[in-house]
Amino acid sequence: MRQNDTDIKTSFLRPAVSGLCLFFACLLGFYLSLVVAGAIPDTLIRDNLESSAQTLSEEGDYPRILTGSEGGQLDNFTTALMLNIIAHSSANPFTSALMGEHYTDSDDNTLPTVEFAGSITLDANTSYQRYWHGWLVILKPLLVFFDLTQIRALFFLATTLLLVAAAALLCRRTSLLPALILAIGFCAVNYPIAAISLSFGFTFLIALIGTIYVLQKINPQAPVYSEMHFGIVFFMLGATTVFFDFLDTPIITLGLPLLAYLLCRHREIGSMGFGAALIKTVRCCMAWGAAYFGLFAAKTLIVTVFLDPGTLESTIMAINQRTSGAVTHLEISSYNSVYRNLRLLLPAWVRFWLVGALIVGAILLLVSLPPAQQRKLLIRPTALLLLVAAFPLIWYSVFANHSITHYWFTYRDLVVSLVAFGFIFALWFDRGSLKARVQRLRGGSKAGCHGH
């Protein structure tokens, strides 16, 4: 009995202690990295900042490129805010970056892109302390060498190369079909726009790096979810997401790595109890959520206690607004939130072709289903893939106001759902069964000819 009590305590205490150590290590590492980046002298980035400000001024707040739809819209407004914070981050490296200090001459603490150039040399007069602003750690050193146009090119190149690497690894672990599905999913949500609109790009980079890491570490001989301490991996994915993200598309950093793992380990998952597989999957989600929401709350409390007592109140007001605040002419509801995002992902002309693709896909599945014994083993992994497919819809329901107001970029969360349904198709599509059926048909037609 005592041995059982000891085992139970150990199983709970070790992860708890490890999690707390990792949590505080992230807090310290995040803060120190902001201080170091903030200490880079303004003189080293001045020329590239001014060039970038000129580019933003010429393009405007929300230019549309590649396509004329809202899905092809850049968020230069937020990019200008990011560069504004960078321009004022060295005033006091110990607090400026953490507080998001910048200059504004407007009532709502923002500065349009066309006015940003004139604010570079002015003293900060407001702050945007709600987020970590970890992107500053990457962007400020890059601005020493590159301007906005060049940084955009680097981000697009990095995202594309990581997508190719993830697809190649997925192909090696499974087959060509899942790799194509991943690439198609990214193209469906206009990933080039996300890559070059700096506030959107970081979550795509994190999601792809996480997916690649998961695919590299998979060991079919190990128990499911036992490789590389999965709780730590997803904790770090959640932590880096909250460090870099503006609440744009955070759920993809959880969904895409998890989908890749579920697909690659579907045989082992199919052979184990569904309850055990579900619990382990939920634990990964909890690790991600603990890091994401925990570090967001910790940053708010740190700033409230040491720098600005009003931060906690303003953050709570912002959370209430993002989850249930009113939007002009629109009812805040889960239905409207999901519908608005789906409508942008699937405009009328896409829905037309989608119906045809679904019909063709259904026919292919009917003629290529694996044998009955194998189908039984696909039920559990399929159920888990469906669970992950629902993540964006759950996110839209919780952050209804934000997802309705900013649907023109939050719709990219649906890449998780697209890839999940594609992986389910790949799971049930059996080339061996399809070939056997085709051969039987050929054999039957030849026999008919000989009979004539």
CA 30 vs CA 8, 35, 66, 82: distances in Å: 33, 9, 36, 17
What are the tens digits of pLDDT across the range 264-275?
A: 888 888 888 888
What is the spatial distance between Cα 209 and Cα 325, in angstroms, rounded to a whole number?
Answer: 34
pLDDT at residue number 29: 95
Dist. CA 262–CA 264, nearest whole Å:
6
Per-residue pLDDT tens over the stretch 78-129: 999 999 999 988 888 888 888 888 888 766 656 677 677 777 778 888 888 8
Closest CA to 298 of 132, 95, 100: 132
pTM attached to this predicted model: 0.89
Alpha carbons 147 and 3: distance in angstroms, whole number: 62
Phi, psi of 212, rounded to the nearest 5 degrees: -60, -45
Q: Which long-range contacts (CB under 8 A, 24 or more apart) does 446-451 make?
A: none
CA-wise closest residue to 67 among 191, 159, 184: 191
- Reduced to 3 states (helix: H, G, I; strand: E, B; else coil), residue 74 is coil
**CA gap 119, 38 in Å, rounded:** 18
The residues of the chain scoring below 50 in pLDDT are 1-5, 7-8
Q: What integer pLDDT is reported at residue 292 of this predicted model? A: 95
Report whether 254 contacts 391 (CB < 8 A).
yes
Contact 398, 189 (CB under 8 A): no
In the chain, helix, strand, coil percent, each to 5?
Answer: 75, 0, 20
